[in-house]
């Protein structure tokens, strides 16, 4: 039931907007009462927070597996994390887009919890870049913080335009991104 | 007066949201009547469209000057366009962020006008990349369309985190981005 509420909420928030979707809209659409909603969530805002926190938790878990993989060098790890983000577009695209659009409706405490997780993902990425520089896989002439933001911008922006059912497959897209990130475009 | 209305609207849309800001809020805040608003705009939606269209028109004009500059090679042109986008964050940051968040409130016709201008900017950029490949300044092993989206993602995402009054100056940021885009990070 919790999963039903979450799935329908994402759909409605995506279509109508967070403010414009009432708890009644959500429960009415899945044929249950408001009591059922309040059994799982204290408010619509907590639902929005939980949707995103569980997604971030999932991402952090999968990122950790990639980072701890002893068989991967740093280029492999970079590839793995970009692929992780692109692969999730299909299942979590609306989730990520809604959060980005509606996050100003979260109060400070809820927002801080999300920001903390996002920062954790970004910091892990930056540390990976720095370790890759130390072992000589990556250039040491760039700021790892700006590089991290730049690379994650490319992957995260894909949530707004990329369709994995279209002409370009997920792996092909990641290959194209990696070619840009690793080798640049200068002839 | 039109400029006053636009400036105050951007401020209110940014703070409260597009739906939550009424025309009365806008005119009340600058001490004029609704009649004044309707003298310049047919609706709140048209105002949102016009705010963004005029910004895109400005960007396209400045992009054209860079692209037609006979003294610039393609690397210079690439630099010029990224710098153009970063430089505008200070004056047009809220404008761009509001459009992105609120564009679902535009009807199809208004949305199409904006999409057309955005596409024009993107196409000009892609053509520049392709010409740069032809003259041998850029590598020819990447898809120019994906490359264009990737590079513009880095610049456009900066509207959400970069503060030109902070530690990193605009030119320094563009230099860091260009280093990534031109040479990549592989050692």
CB contact under 8 A, A157 and B161: no
The pLDDT assigned to B96 comes to: 85
Q: Is B144 on the interface with A (CB under 8 A)?
A: no
Is residue A129 within 8 A of residue A138, CB to CB? The reply is: yes
**pLDDT value of residue A96:** 85
Residue A148 C-alpha, separation from nearest chain B C-alpha, in angstroms: 11
Tell me the residues of chain B between 48 and 67 that have a Cβ less than 8 Å away from chain A. Answer: none
Give pLDDT, residue A29. Answer: 92
Between chain A and chain B, how many beta carbons pairs sit less than 8 Å apart? Answer: 111
Q: Do B187 and A136 touch (CB under 8 A)?
A: yes
Q: Is A163 on the interface with B (CB under 8 A)?
A: no
- CATH architecture, range B44-183: Orthogonal Bundle (1.10)
CA atoms lying within 13 Å on the CB side of residue B95: 19
Angle B180-A147-A100 from CA coordinates, rounded to 5°? 120
The structure tokens listed for A69 are 């993989």
Query: What is the rounded CA–CA span in Å between residue A37 and residue A41?
Result: 6
Q: What is the pLDDT of residues B105-140, one digit of tens each?
A: 888 999 999 999 999 999 999 999 999 999 999 998
Fold agreement between A1-41 and A44-183: no
* DSSP alpha helix (H) spans, chain A: 2-16, 23-30, 34-40, 44-67, 74-102, 108-134, 144-157, 170-183
Min Cα separation B34/chain A (Å): 25
User: What pLDDT shows up at residue B97?
Assistant: 84
Q: What is the pLDDT of residue A72?
A: 97
d(CA A100, CA B14): 14
Query: Cβ distance A186 to B183 under 8 Å?
Result: yes
- Which residue, among A140, A172, A182, A184, would best test binding to B if mutated, counting the most B CBs under 10 Å from its CB? A184
User: Which residues in chain B touch residue A176, judged by CB atoms under 8 angstroms apart?
Assistant: 142-143, 146-147, 150
| pLDDT one-digit tens code per residue, B30-72 | 999 999 999 999 999 999 999 889 899 999 999 999 999 999 9
Q: For B67-104, how does the pLDDT look when each residue is reduced to its tens digit (9 = 90+)?
A: 999 999 999 999 999 999 999 999 888 888 888 888 88
Give A132→chain B minimum CA distance, Å. Answer: 9
Tens-level pLDDT at each residue, chain A (187 residues): 888 899 899 999 988 888 889 999 999 999 999 999 999 999 999 999 998 898 999 999 999 999 999 999 999 999 999 999 999 999 888 888 888 888 888 889 999 999 999 999 999 999 999 999 999 999 987 799 999 999 999 999 999 899 989 999 999 999 999 999 999 999 9
DSSP for A83-128 reads: HHHHHHHHHHHHHHHHHHHHGGGS-HHHHHHHHHHHHHHHHHHHHH
Instruction: Tell me, yes or no, if B178 comes closer than 8 A to chain A by beta carbon.
Output: no
Write the CATH number of the domain with boundaries A1-41.
1.10.10.60
CB-based contact A23:A45 (threshold 8 Å): no
B91 CB-near residues (< 8 Å, 6+ apart): none
- Rounded to an integer, what distance in angstroms lies between the CA atom of residue B170 and that of residue B184? 20
Domain positions in chain B: 1-41, 44-183
* Bridge partners of residue B186, in order along the sequence: A138
Instruction: Mark yes or no for CB contact A150/B176 under 8 Å.
Output: yes
A184/B contact by beta carbon, under 8 A: yes
Inter-chain contact B185–A17, Cβ cutoff 8 Å?
no
Query: Which backbone phi and psi does A138 adopt, to 5 degrees?
Result: -115, 155
- Asked if residue B4 has pLDDT above 80, the reply is yes
Q: Is B119 on the interface with A (CB under 8 A)?
A: no
What ipTM describes this predicted complex?
Answer: 0.88
Asked if A139 and B182 come within 8 Å (Cβ–Cβ), the reply is no
Whole-number pLDDT of residue A15 = 86
Q: Does B138 contact A187 at a Cβ distance shorter than 8 Å? A: yes
């Amino acid at each position: 039931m919790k999963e039903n509420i979450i799935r329908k909420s994402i759909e409605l928030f995506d279509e109508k907007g967070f403010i414009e979707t009432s708890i009644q809209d959500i429960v009415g659409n899945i044929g249950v009462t408001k009591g059922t909603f309040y059994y799982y969530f204290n408010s619509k805002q907590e639902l929005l927070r939980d949707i995103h926190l569980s997604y971030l938790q999932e991402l952090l878990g999968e990122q950790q597996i990639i980072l701890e993989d002893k068989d991967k060098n740093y280029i492999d790890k970079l590839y793995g994390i970009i692929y992780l983000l692109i692969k999730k577009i299909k299942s979590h695209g609306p989730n990520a887009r809604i959060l980005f659009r509606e996050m100003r409706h979260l109060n400070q405490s809820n927002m801080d919890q999300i920001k903390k997780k996002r920062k954790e993902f970004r910091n892990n990425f930056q540390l990976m870049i720095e370790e890759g520089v130390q072992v000589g896989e990556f250039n040491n002439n760039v700021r790892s913080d700006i590089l991290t933001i730049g690379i994650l911008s490319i992957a995260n922006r894909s949530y707004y335009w990329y369709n994995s059912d279209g002409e370009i497959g997920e792996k092909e897209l990641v290959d194209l991104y990696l070619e840009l990130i690793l080798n640049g475009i200068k002839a």
